[in-house]
């Protein structure tokens, strides 16, 4: 029997997924109405046309919305009685609030999904602390009963809404506005490092999501403001986005360039076709390359950069999920960048020649790119130190300063030397 899942964008039904049996991967079609009046495509791989988009094009987009963490996916799968590799079944359960403006629901749930908009329930500081503790303790589930949000990525996380200055859980189809991450368990102070790196990046001029490092009772987490949400009083508007793995049609397991993921050339191809202001996109991709190198951040893969899709145009979204690896000893982390610069991932081989090559791919003047790299490399260690100083009474600050700062300074000196 044919099974359908409705697809909504910014609250309106714009199409549906369809499959014949439970083991089939679904196809996707826009409604005839959305093809004629719609202005935002779901994905670069799913252009706004009146055709049935085949499963091969649909799958990377769907999987890109789901947690990559197997435990978290298995827990949601168990809750909804579906297989953990069944994206259709999973999204019917947890696809009511996703990255971007997309939502999924079964036809019979549409009325509930629409009615429940605005069902935000207050959550206390102690309850938030409990949730952080549960995640750290290895509880597999990321969502609680009644919550239907889904976010990609490997790390433990949960999402809440900040309405009128108070934290709320988002039930039914209500939107979340912030992402909470306690940090990677195996790495000391990881969430703190992510926050400090992101604030330092912002202060050297990178457009990056706003974060705080916040205490809830005795628990700490990085709290990241979602750039795909606009809060107006109690109403939360969704803006659409997709990451570059989705836009390049790659499954999440192919997010890293060295494991078959998109290269800068592929990302530029997407930028040329999809963005409204190409020069702006060139500079944003350049900043992604530069800041990952300068910060010594090893995880700048294609799911850590996104495209925002709005009726008035598409652009590269603010960056997110940026954390230096330099606080850790080299045996625990790979010092290479995830996305090669002029064909090189090893920082010691990224020299003027590689920047010149990258500049050609980006379509930017080499001098401009080199000048920007030089500016950021020079400013970054001080920015990191300033961002540490802004935090008071945070556990781990002194240790982080001691471990990361000398290495960041040394790293910057070498980046500059090679230019």
Ligand X SMILES: Nc1ncnc2c1ncn2[C@@H]1O[C@H](COP(=O)(O)OP(=O)(O)OP(=O)(O)O)[C@@H](O)[C@H]1O
Q: Decide whether 109 or 242 has the Cβ nearer to ligand X.
A: 242
Which stretch, 223-231, 275-283, 329-337, 401-409, contacts ligand X (CB under 6 A)? 223-231
DSSP code string of 162-220? EETTEEEEE-TTPPP-EEEE---TTSTTHHHHHHHHHHHHHHTT--B--EEEEEETTEE
Q: Give least dist CB 239 to ligand X, A.
A: 9
- The C-alpha atoms of residue 48 and residue 32 are separated, in whole angstroms, by 10
Q: Give me the least distance between CB of 228 and Mg ion, in Å please.
A: 14
Binds ligand X by CB under 6 A, chosen from 30, 321, 340, 412: 321
Point out which residues pair with 243 in neighbouring strands.
306
Q: Which of 313, 304, 320, 319 is nearest to 41 (CA)?
A: 313
227 binds ligand X (CB under 6 A): yes
Does the protein bind ligand X through residue 151 (CB under 6 A)? yes
Q: Kindly report the three-state secondary structure assignment for every residue of 310-341.
A: ECCEEEECCECCCCCCCCCCCCCCCCCCCCCE
Q: Does 303 bind ligand X (CB under 6 A)?
A: yes
Of the candidate residues 15, 152, 325, 342, the single one contacting ligand X (CB under 6 A): 152
Should residue 154 be labelled a site residue for ligand X when binding is judged by CB under 6 A? yes
- Separation between Cα atoms, residue 92 and residue 113, nearest integer Å: 11
**Mutual angle of helices 352-362 and 278-294, in 10-degree steps:** 150
Q: Please tell me whether residue 97 binds ligand X under the rule CB under 6 A.
A: no
> Which one of Mg ion, ligand X, none is in contact with 179 (Cβ closer than 5 to 8 A by kind)?
ligand X
Residues that bind Mg ion (CB under 5 A): 153, 304, 321
C-beta closer to ligand X: residue 53 or 238: 238
Specify whether the CB–CB gap between 66 and 87 falls below 8 A. Answer: yes
Shortest distance, CB of residue 68 to ligand X, whole angstroms? 6
For ligand X, the binding residues in 60-89 under the rule CB under 6 A are 68
Q: Is 155 in the site for ligand X (CB under 6 A)?
A: yes
Cβ at position 241, least distance to ligand X in Å: 6
Q: Binds 76, which of ligand X, Mg ion, none (CB < 5 to 8 A, cut-off by type)?
A: none
Binding segment for ligand X (CB under 6 A), chosen from 33-41, 128-136, 163-171, 224-232, is 224-232
> What x/- string results for residues 171 through 190 when contact with ligand X is judged by CB under 6 A?
--------x-----------
Asked if 209 touches ligand X (CB under 6 A), the answer is yes
For 213-225, b/e burial (b = at least 16 CB within 10 A) is: bbbbeebbbbbbb
Supply the minimum distance, in Å, between the C-beta of residue 99 and ligand X: 4
Instruction: Count H helices and E strands in the chain, helices first.
Output: 13, 15
Residue 9: other Cβ atoms inside 10 A: 21
According to DSSP H, which parts of 233-340 are helical? 244-247, 264-274, 278-294
Tell whether residue 320 is a contact of ligand X (CB under 6 A).
yes
**How many of the chain's residues bind ligand X (CB under 6 A)?**
22
Shortest Cβ 72–Mg ion spacing (Å): 14
CA 140 to chain centre: 20
Q: Shortest gap between Cβ of 141 and Mg ion (angstroms)?
A: 19
Question: How far is the C-alpha of 322 from the C-alpha of 291, rounded, in Å?
Answer: 9
Helix (H) or strand (E) holding 405: helix 397-418
Residues at the site binding ligand X, with contacts judged by CB under 6 A: 68, 99, 151-155, 157, 179, 209, 224-228, 243, 299, 303-304, 306, 320-321
């Amino acid at each position: 029997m044919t099974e359908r899942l409705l697809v909504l964008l910014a609250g309106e039904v714009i199409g549906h997924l369809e499959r014949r049996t439970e083991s089939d991967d679904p196809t996707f079609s826009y409604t005839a109405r959305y093809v004629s009046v719609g202005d935002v495509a779901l994905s670069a791989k799913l252009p706004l046309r009146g055709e049935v988009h085949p499963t091969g094009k649909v799958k990377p987009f769907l999987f890109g919305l789901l947690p990559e963490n197997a435990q978290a996916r298995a827990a949601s799968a168990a809750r909804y009685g579906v297989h953990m590799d069944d994206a259709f079944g999973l999204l019917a359960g947890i696809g009511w609030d996703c990255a971007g403006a997309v939502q999924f629901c079964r036809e019979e749930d549409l009325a509930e999904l629409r009615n429940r908009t605005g069902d935000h329930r207050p959550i206390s500081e102690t309850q938030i602390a409990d949730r952080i503790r549960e995640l750290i303790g290895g509880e597999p589930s990321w969502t609680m009963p009644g919550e239907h949000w889904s976010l990609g990525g490997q790390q433990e996380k949960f999402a809440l809404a900040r309405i009128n200055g108070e934290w709320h859980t988002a039930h039914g189809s209500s939107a979340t506005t912030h992402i909470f991450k306690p940090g990677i368990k195996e790495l000391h102070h990881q969430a703190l490092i992510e926050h400090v790196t992101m604030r330092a990046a912002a202060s050297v001029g990178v457009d990056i999501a706003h974060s705080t490092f916040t205490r809830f009772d005795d628990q700490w987490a990085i709290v990241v403001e979602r750039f795909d949400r606009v809060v107006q009083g109690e109403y939360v508007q969704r803006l659409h986005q997709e990451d570059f793995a989705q836009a390049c049609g790659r499954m999440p397991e192919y997010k890293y360039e060295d494991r078959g993921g998109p290269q800068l050339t592929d990302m530029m191809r997407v930028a040329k076709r999809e963005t409204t202001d190409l020069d702006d996109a060139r500079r944003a991709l350049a900043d992604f390359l530069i800041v990952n190198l300068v910060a010594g951040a090893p995880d700048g893969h294609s799911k850590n950069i996104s495209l925002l899709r709005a009726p008035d145009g598409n652009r590269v979204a603010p960056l997110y999920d940026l954390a230096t690896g330099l606080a850790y000893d080299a045996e625990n982390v790979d010092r290479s960048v995830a996305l090669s610069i002029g064909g090189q991932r090893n920082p010691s081989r990224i020299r003027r020649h590689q920047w010149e090559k990258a500049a050609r791919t980006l379509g930017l003047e080499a001098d401009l790119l080199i000048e920007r790299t030089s500016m950021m490399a020079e400013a970054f260690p001080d920015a990191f130190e300033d961002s540490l100083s802004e935090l008071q009474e945070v556990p781990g600050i002194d240790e982080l300063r001691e471990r990361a700062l000398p290495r960041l300074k040394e790293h910057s000196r070498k980046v500059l030397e090679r230019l």
